[in-house]
A and B are shown apart, each in its own frame.
Chain A
């Protein structure tokens, strides 16, 4: 890297948004590649020109080659991504008359991880969506580096270097990983018109390497795991040279190991001078990564704490507005006399995902399944429930082997499955709560002359919803109007109606806030006490420690270990899920 170019770059480093966005972006992308990248990061990380490649900044993508294009060092390019403070001033937003954000001001400083915490419905995601241009605030304004931004759209936000990594990664399923990374701004040939696919794949690979994503750039997005998709979203922010990256609850679908990778990346980006926004429900990780924590409650900012000032209890009480006790382990009485086997799985195999899975569940028992995303844990559950064809193996409920498994046959036999992806496989979002609750047991609903008796259906739903204390205004509103926690309770009440003997709960507390989480643990332990056998699949090792009598560990499609009682600790589980020895 020639010093004069660095010098020029440093001189012209200013706030990039004076540059016409479209042009700057187009240029920037036609000249990606190693060398140029290094200039950028050196500036961001060291802020001293001329010392490129020496500091702690993340190393540039490997295969350089194309680096020194004529326009690579132009002012427009190097001004890009300069650190800038991003502020929301007195932002207010309401939906259908309900105020979601009420006069909220936050400031995201460069070189900081800025975290928002709060219960579901507190307005965290809404704020991030406003900051990234997905929503327009009713009033208030946004300022980047002291300049007020006009109407922001995701497109113009990206142009300014602001990107939101969403709670659920959204990629274009049939396009390759590389294309998803560059979508809309694929690097082009010198001809300036045609996409250079070789360059796309080569440079995508270097970006993937940088965020720790090990994947062939040609893989279609639909074949990527959630964790991989999330890392791809991060890489996309890098491709756009973002200086503000917002992470909306990125860790909820991730395992501990993947979370660590993501945090490593977040720290790297922060150290390189980016302003990082972060939302999480897991307070331990919030305390771990945040430089500043702000607490939202009911659309208002109620606390703002710096690193060191924030404590777990302090955050919790600020979030919910009251003190709560620390949750201790739910110990079930292991001396229930009437224990009998209710579920037996024998040599269940579905190549290439999992093989030879055997285990049994007894009544009154809560058994956990720990494993990384991609280890096959969800697929095993799907195969048991008949959602996925198995190559071989048997499943018996109450001693009776289910020959042709289908969700319906399983429900009839007393096995229910609460899917991991509530929005996609669980709720019927625009349908009333009543019909969401009774959806699993339609054949058994009370009828007269073959027609469902609506009043009785509603009574059934009301009774079942009361058992799991779903908080709602009415049974006749769309379930989408409920918070995540309450939707999950409604899902529980759906399956209670089926009077199951075995319940498979896949990530039962995903996307659920702290208060609601505790309630769900209570529901689970009540159900177990009443005799139900529960199989809990979870990425949160703490959760398994809190709730389970036994934990099965799945690694690369096989059960590799089992812990019981006091053996179950997050540390041991953490070792086993990545393939460590069980001794």
Chain B
């Protein structure tokens, strides 16, 4: 018995520090910041231009579209769904305000209201199909990816937006202070609002509950289908805003904007790299925004390292895999062992 008692006490002394350490290491946000620091440091040493304010500003502004999409994607994935249709939602939003902006100088504030409306309407479409028609999310949004993509063609009607008013360009391509672009600030602002929503409101917590176990949530009195519906609407809403940021940043929009660069997959990649799990109920938006920024930095670093652009998709894929492996590994720290099955006791 004394041997047992001895091991018990020693366990108690060691556990807290180990647990704390494990928790810190597991924080995906911390891992990402660390990884970013490494990539930036290495690239800066090899190519001092990498940390020039114009390049930093470019990378961050570039990531803001992905970041905004990833915020919405995170909401959907937390609720155990997925939204593949964010690309045409972004595209439709961009052209719907792009033409009046180009031809009539549509005020930015009005444009914002319009893209939000467009995003909400298209998001409601997804939400109805998933939560009321009960079509699995991946099938629903694969279908609406095509349907909305077709709609984008019809709306664009072969025209292109090539020339946007100056104030659009100013928002999309200038900095508050050197190296901190307005576009990223917008994305970060949205992320903070959504972060607060997810963390501090019953609605936000309900998304986590539904993603964890929809049956359990149903039994606990959570209106599961309404919550799922809401995530798609919010995702559409954010994709609409992302469309405006895209328009301002690139100054162009046409019938294949969004879909041609597969932004839906990039947004999912940023979300996964940010630590949100596809199984739902775990993760958060801060990680997703960091994931988007990390993607942008890493891909730019590849360019600086003179790796041909054809390797870019492989780079994204590699980062996703790396994130998953890290998940696996850090998820096991402090638990019973790699093959633990009975987690009940």
A197 to B282, CA, bound (A): 18
A158 to chain B, nearest CB (A): 4
A425/B221 in contact, CB under 8 A = no
A193/B213 in contact, CB under 8 A = no
Inside 8 A of A180's CB, which chain B residues have their CB? 220
A193 to B199, CA, bound (A): 11
The segment out of B93-101, B133-141, B202-210 that lies at the interface is: B202-210
> Quick check: is B344 within 8 A (CB to CB) of the other chain?
yes
- Selected contact of A387 from candidates B11, B205, B342, CB within 8 Å: B342
- Selected contact of B221 from candidates A159, A195, A197, A389, CB within 8 Å: A159
> Quick check: is A186 within 8 A (CB to CB) of the other chain?
yes
> Quick check: is A149 within 8 A (CB to CB) of the other chain?
no
Inside 8 A of B342's CB, which chain A residues have their CB? 378-379, 382, 387-388, 420-421, 425
> Quick check: is B157 within 8 A (CB to CB) of the other chain?
no
A225/B217 in contact, CB under 8 A = no
B208/A194 in contact, CB under 8 A = no
Inside 8 A of B208's CB, which chain A residues have their CB? 172, 174-175
> Quick check: is B222 within 8 A (CB to CB) of the other chain?
yes
Known contacts A172-B208, A388-B339; decide if A183 and B201 are in contact (CB<8 Å).
Answer: no
Give the residues from 299 to 325 in chain A that come closer than 8 angstroms, CB to CB, to chain B: none
A417 to chain B, nearest CB (A): 11
- Selected contact of A184 from candidates B7, B15, B209, B215, CB within 8 Å: B209
> Quick check: is A13 within 8 A (CB to CB) of the other chain?
no
The segment out of A276-284, A347-355, A458-466 that lies at the interface is: A347-355
- Tally of A interface residues using CB under 8 Å: 52
Inside 8 A of A154's CB, which chain B residues have their CB? 218-221
Where chain A touches its partner, the secondary structure class is: loop
The residue among B215, B216, B338 with the most chain A CB atoms within 10 A of its own CB is B216
> Quick check: is A188 within 8 A (CB to CB) of the other chain?
yes
Give the residues from 300 to 345 in chain B that come closer than 8 angstroms, CB to CB, to chain A: 336-345
A162 to chain B, nearest CB (A): 11
Known contacts A134-B219, A374-B345, A382-B342; decide if A351 and B202 are in contact (CB<8 Å).
Answer: no
B214 to chain A, nearest CB (A): 10
A379/B219 in contact, CB under 8 A = no
Give the residues from 410 to 426 in chain A that come closer than 8 angstroms, CB to CB, to chain B: 420-421, 425
A184 to B345, CA, bound (A): 26
- Selected contact of B336 from candidates A174, A195, A353, CB within 8 Å: A353
> Quick check: is B4 within 8 A (CB to CB) of the other chain?
yes
- Selected contact of A172 from candidates B15, B217, B336, CB within 8 Å: B217
Known contacts A170-B215, A175-B208, A379-B345; decide if A350 and B336 are in contact (CB<8 Å).
Answer: yes
Give the residues from 156 to 209 in chain B that come closer than 8 angstroms, CB to CB, to chain A: 196, 199-202, 205-206, 208-209
A194/B223 in contact, CB under 8 A = no
Known contacts A194-B201, A352-B11, A355-B4; decide if A172 and B223 are in contact (CB<8 Å).
Answer: no
Inside 8 A of B200's CB, which chain A residues have their CB? 193-195, 197
Known contacts A175-B212, A195-B201; decide if A387 and B339 are in contact (CB<8 Å).
Answer: yes
A388/B341 in contact, CB under 8 A = yes
> Quick check: is A5 within 8 A (CB to CB) of the other chain?
no
B201/A174 in contact, CB under 8 A = no
A106 to chain B, nearest CB (A): 21
B226 to chain A, nearest CB (A): 10
- Selected contact of A225 from candidates B281, B336, B344, CB within 8 Å: B344
Inside 8 A of A186's CB, which chain B residues have their CB? 202, 205
A556 to B345, CA, bound (A): 12
User: In the complex, what residue of chain B is closest to A372 when comparing beta carbons?
Assistant: B345
> Quick check: is A62 within 8 A (CB to CB) of the other chain?
no
> Quick check: is A373 within 8 A (CB to CB) of the other chain?
yes
A158/B221 in contact, CB under 8 A = yes
A379 to chain B, nearest CB (A): 7
Known contacts A184-B206, A194-B201, A225-B345; decide if A389 and B217 are in contact (CB<8 Å).
Answer: no
Inside 8 A of B216's CB, which chain A residues have their CB? 170-172
B213/A183 in contact, CB under 8 A = no
> Quick check: is A445 within 8 A (CB to CB) of the other chain?
no
6 A-B pairs with least C-beta separation: A389-B337, A172-B212, A170-B216, A158-B221, A194-B200, A155-B221
Which A residues lie at the B interface, using CB under 8 A? 134, 154-155, 157-159, 164, 166, 170-175, 179-180, 183-186, 188, 193-195, 197, 222-223, 225-226, 236, 240, 350-353, 355-356, 373-374, 376, 378-379, 382, 387-389, 420-421, 425, 556-558
